[in-house]
Amino acid sequence: MYAVIETGGKQYKVEKGTEIEVELLDAKVGAILKFKDLLNKSEVTAKVMEHGKGEKINIFKYKAKKNIRKRQGHRQPYTLLLIQSIGGSK
């Protein structure tokens, strides 16, 4: 059984027992979060496992023949969720 939840402006297809990385949520590690299933309006329960940062992305901009170079890096923060139950199933 699977469900589709929405968080951080994105939709995720989840199943019981799977771990997903979503946009950073304001919740403590170990907290239990509840989401609404977009398909059949049931409830999805997830546990916050950790917060972290993704891999570094290098951004390099330059203008040819002008000696202009700009380097920048970015690491996207995320929250790791463990899906515990979908609907009434345990």
pLDDT score at 80: 98
Q: What is the pTM of this model?
A: 0.85
Q: Looking at the predicted structure, is the pLDDT value of residue 90 above 80?
A: no
pLDDT score at 89: 55
pLDDT tens-place string over residues 47-88: 999 999 999 999 999 999 999 999 999 999 999 999 999 986
Beta bridge partners of 86: 44
pLDDT tens-place string over residues 9-28: 999 999 999 999 999 999 99
